[in-house]
A and B are shown apart, each in its own frame.
Chain A
Amino acid sequence: MAEEISESPNDPPPETPPSPPSEPEFDSKTMRKTKPGLKRLFLTFTVLVSFLLGFPFLFKSVEIYRSPLPFHDIDILSNDVVSNPILFPCHFQAIFVPSDPKSSSIDTTGIARNLCLSLYKCGSIRAVDLDFSDDESVDEALESAGFDFGGKVYSVVVVVNGDGVEGVKVVVGKYRHAWIVGRDWGVEEVAERLAEIFVKVFVNGGREEGLIHGEFMPVGADGRIVLSFNLLNADPMDWTYDWDFQKIDETLLAPMIDVLGPIANISVESQVLYYTPKFTFSSWDEKLGGYTLSTKDLPFFVNSNEWHLDTSIAAGGRSKILQFVVYVPSAKECPLLLQLPNGEISKTNAFISPMWGGVMVWNPQSCSRDSDSELVTLILSPEDLQKVFEVFAGQFRQLFGLKSGSLHVGSLDTYSLLASEKGFTEWELDFLSRQHTCFNIHSSATTLGSLSKLVQSLPRMIIMDEIGKQVKFSLEAANLARSNASLGFYDASAVSSRQARSLAEDAFFHPSIMSVSYYSFEHCFAVYSPFFLPVSMHVLLAALREWRRYKQEKAKYLLWKAKEKVAS
């Protein structure tokens, strides 16, 4: 390089003191005779251009890996879920069974049109000699009569002039049937009843407004529920109770868990805890003969310091744990009664806490303690346990947003709902899986939406391939669930919606997203600016100067040229 520099003085126009006398108007300040050199200009521009060319390579080298996410598809899904809610096709049929063929004056097709049912099939019932005072047998008979035509069809049998029934009797069965028995009614009355049964009971699951909101589905993000049953002995010094839970698990819980299979994967565990006092104080009520606890104290009943209910290790990270607690009060507070706001005593002596579980207070038979007798562990009798688990089954239904009672108060009259020994009737399960599908798709859409927002707001966050895959599969599952739902496959859509939700949650809570591994632009700037800032100043200034000088010199040369031309 030194050579080059030492050579350089030869390059600029040599001094021209011995200017030829033939050109008289040569001014060395404004003109030059030789062409301006391009060497330095070329050099500085080469440096500048190589810098500019190098920048993309630098950016490439500091780039972080981001798996491409289908942002557009996510947007479509979340918009779709909001603007275009899933429509489940439900098939209804109304069957009119005139006990006396002559008196069947009702225009059935007219009713069907009034109700705007999506499907109407008129079946015929062979066994008209049903005994309508025995609901169970009617239900079984209707089920065995084969009203289902393969698909899931809800049917209401209207029996005019049923024998042995006074007034109007409306019963909803365990399967997908209901029947109305009565006499002397008009078309509107029947139509209204039918509409009410279809809309309120079969479609909306007979739930009341203001109960647990549908968004609180007590199912974990991975589609699992752990039912944790706890027997709490407040003070074992007074008495200790134990239970034979295994038998209960096998006889009572197993069918219920089996039935809820498509909605959630349920596992059961139990434990007995001791020295677990409650958090609030109860007051003695002379009239009721027990210690009472009013509704407003219930939020403070659960004593999280002493009740080591524990999250389950057996359950995965995002399973939902529902705690069911049997509280055995100590002798100091023995008949412990829960008082309703209207002053009455709660029949079940239990309460639920949405998304957490339920608590039941179980009072021992006799509250007096024999201080002399040896302390032995008492076992809850099977009858008591049966009672306790009836309450728990009701609480479990309530946590799912269903009614715990067997009566539904309609606008015209009260309907009696037949309870299934499995805890959930078939039409309720249909309702639950519909609701569950909706909830899951909604939840996966919102999760994916927030994921895409997060990813787009942090442009320098690493996104692993796995996340991209999970998002893709989640979208696929969600779309599959939507298409299944619109075709009426409830179970399949429930399963794939569950998959969509769990995949979306997996993607959102992926450990690589949670870690602070993203490499911010500020950091990049701080690392590279000490070099590139001063160097770029030099390079740019040099290029600019050379360019200006070249222009100047060229102008000088051109001027000389012009002069020369004029002179010649």
Chain B
Amino acid sequence: MELPSRWVFLLFLLLSSTKAFESEVDKEEFQEELLLKPLPDRKVLAHFHFETRAPPCNSNGLHHHHLFPKSISQMVEKFRVKEMELSFTQGRWNYERWGGFDTMSSNNAKPPGVELWAVFDVPKEQVDASWKNLTHTLSGIFCASINFLESSSMYSAPDWSFRQASGSLRYGMLPREAVCTENLTPWLKLLPCRDKAGISSLMDRPSIYTSLYYSQRLHLTSIASDLEGLNLGIVLEQTLTVVLHPSSQRTGLTHFSQSYLQPSWSLSSIFGRKVNGRCVLAKSSKVYLQLERGLVSQLKKSENYGADYIASEGYDGEANFELSVNPDRVIKEEHSRNGISSSLLYEFSVDKYSNSKPFDLGLTWKFPVIWSCQQAPLHASRFLMGSGNERGAIAILLKSTDLNDSSLVANSAMDGCELRVNIFQVVPWYIRVYYHSLQLFVDDQLKAVGAFVEKIHVMPSKDKISPGMMEMVLKLPCGVKSAALTLDFDKGFLHIDEYPPDANQGFDIPSAAIGFPDFHTSMLFPSNESERKSPMLSKFQESSPVLLYTEVLLVPLTTPDFSMPYNVITITCTVFALYFGSLLNVLRQRVGEKERLLKSKAAAKTGRLSDLLSRLSAKLRGRSQEPMQSASESSPLINSKLALKVLLMAALAVAWQYYFG
């Protein structure tokens, strides 16, 4: 017992000493950065990264803020959020073309709609209550319907596949949430300069919302510096990732066909705005231009052919492209795996620019370059099988990306040629998945599931209470070409008031997350004092497992006619009333008396018309006209007929009730 406490004390000492070393300026600070990256398919990626830090201070200081947004800090304090991420995304990240094996895709490629996960620092039984309150608060802050995640059928508690967090993690997705400026404005409100100055002033709403991919993310981590968890330090990381399509500018070069040449762009051409100086409140304000590994190696190759290759570090690609602004620094990635080439980062500091001299970075290509992105080990897609409104099947297809990356070989060699894949999937309760029907096809051959599954955790859905959740670790041979998982499901029926307004559109199944725990992406930069300060680069240096999201599935469910309850009520009631009324009438009918009355009438009136009528009615009754027949003889006949009719009526009523009731 003594040893651990001493350890804790030591740890605490260590922590406090590092704290003292680090926090020379114990103040809130804000940093803004922008990363631009040309993509192989003639697009440009812009990644805004803002970081606001609140240093740990005593509980009283939590109520007084200088740069850090008050609402976020109050929220963290009130709900004891340890870590949280909220993303609003429009469009789908194209893993094949924009890369699936870099920090950008595994951290910033998000499923469409809203994704929220949070880890709480509260006892386990209070986690759900905190989550519910948090969703309401966030929906208030971000003007979004995040509060729909409140109901327990909308969120799940993954154990290990999504993130390691012993029971205090909650995860929810709203695939159909529309994302627009009304969500961006409150997000910008959390920045001290909003979009009034600095890099964020580039966010021209029409140009960023017409982008191919838009993802706005908020990630916060709170660090309790003392053991009681009273002194909270919060790191708020806000990123906005957009993929833009630059309209190609005409260049003077005509000897290459324009179609091969990458489009040239500048900040003003893709955003329609320029940066008029930094946000004065930011500690640093930097713009980076990243050339990824594939591109750099292609450039080097072409330059080798051109024989004017400059060996020194500098503007490696100067011959191929031109930058309108000279970079302040060039950072070369240290490739750890002795690969062929490493990516390049050009750093531009916005500090020098002002209103009179705005910063407008432009990139002009001179020669055509074709390169490709690094792909994730497997490409994942998910689709629906089957037809009709009753049942179907979900299939997840993992396809090899023909990766001849040395890293994979190296990795797999270490693991004894095994490729581990994490699958995390949440399915709403009205899709009743039969987990026993799980089938695994490896290289198009049906295989026993047990042979490939290393670990599986299934939480079957409970109707209207909790969604179904599946966590799974697959162990595939590294030479696998394709692997497919299928799961059968039945479609459930919803209660009439559980249908959304546009029920005929179908229901969304949120994206599944596919992770590759053996593959980590990180970029290593030469350890320099200045790099340590850049939050975006330090984020890139952190090793993060490769993660990708599949498509959202749209399942059509049987939708009722919503006026049905009233129709049913009216019809059954009318039938019942008819049945009841006729039964009552029959009960109190006096057949003998009626007959007598009829006869006396017939005797009294001998008009032609009445005679004809009586004859007709007699014919209808299927009886030859026997006017002079005695009543004693005819009455039993009538009685049996009547009884038959009543029986028929009753049978009809029962049939109605059976089919329509």
Contacts and interface: CB of A to CB of B under 8 A. Distances in A.
Contacts of B596: 15
B592 A12 contact: yes
A520 B655 CA distance: 33
Interface string B560-598: 000000100110011011101101111111111100100
B180 interface: no
A313 interface: yes
A127 B38 CA distance: 90
Interface residues of B, number: 53
Contacts of A563: none
Contacts of B580: 535, 538
A308 interface: yes
Contacts of A6: 636, 639-640, 642-643
A542 B570 CA distance: 24
B585 A542 contact: yes
Interface string A272-293: 1011000000000000000000
Most B CB atoms within 10 A — which of A14, A15, A250, A537? Answer: A15
B257 interface: no
Contact of A271 (B70, B281, B569, B639): B70
B495 interface: no
B192 interface: yes
A534 B578 contact: yes
B339 interface: no
A406 B606 CA distance: 117
Nearest to B582: A538
A47 interface: yes
A537 B580 CA distance: 11
Contacts of A313: 71, 74-75, 78, 137
B234 to A, nearest CB: 14
Interface residues of A, number: 51
Interface string B71-109: 100110110000000000000000000000000000000
B592 A9 contact: yes
A310 B189 CA distance: 10
Interface stretch (B59-67, B161-169, B396-404, B612-620): B59-67
A47 B581 CA distance: 11
Interface string A285-321: 0000000000000000000000010101110000000
B646 interface: yes
Contact of A275 (B137, B194, B593): B194
A122 interface: no
B587 A270 contact: no
A530 B575 CA distance: 9
A149 to B, nearest CB: 40
Contacts, number: 136
Nearest to A43: B587
A538 B584 contact: yes
Contacts of A14: 592
B280 A40 contact: no
A5 interface: yes
B277 to A, nearest CB: 8
A55 to B, nearest CB: 16
Given A9-B591, A246-B64, A314-B63, A375 B70 contact: no
Interface string A495-533: 000000000000000000000000000000011101101
A271 B65 contact: yes
B64 A270 contact: yes
B646 A530 contact: no
Majority secondary structure, A binding face:
helix
A530 to B, nearest CB: 3
Nearest to A14: B592
B175 to A, nearest CB: 27
A81 interface: no
A440 to B, nearest CB: 27
A277 to B, nearest CB: 10
Contact of A530 (B64, B194, B281, B569): B569
B197 A268 contact: no
A259 interface: no
B176 interface: no
Contacts of B636: 6
B70 A269 contact: yes
A535 B581 contact: yes
A275 B196 contact: yes
A249 B60 CA distance: 9
Interface string A528-564: 1011011101110010011000000000000000000
Contacts of A450: none
B437 interface: no
Contact of B189 (A270, A272, A308): A308
B631 interface: yes
- Top 5 nearest A-B pairs (CB, nearest first) are A530-B573, A531-B573, A534-B577, A538-B581, A9-B592
Interface of B: 60-61, 63-67, 70-71, 74-75, 77-78, 137, 189, 192-194, 196-197, 280-281, 566, 569-570, 573-574, 576-578, 580-581, 583-593, 596, 631, 635-636, 639-640, 642-643, 646-647
Interface of A: 1-2, 4-6, 8-9, 12, 14-15, 40, 43-44, 47, 236-237, 240, 242, 245-246, 249-250, 267-272, 274-275, 308, 310, 312-314, 375, 377, 526-528, 530-531, 533-535, 537-539, 542, 545-546
25 contacts: A1-B646, A2-B646, A5-B639, A6-B640, A9-B591, A236-B193, A240-B280, A249-B60, A249-B63, A249-B64, A269-B65, A269-B74, A274-B192, A275-B196, A313-B75, A314-B77, A526-B566, A527-B566, A527-B569, A530-B577, A535-B577, A535-B580, A538-B581, A538-B585, A542-B588
Given A530-B573, A535-B576, 4 more contacts: A5-B587, A6-B639, A526-B566, A538-B581
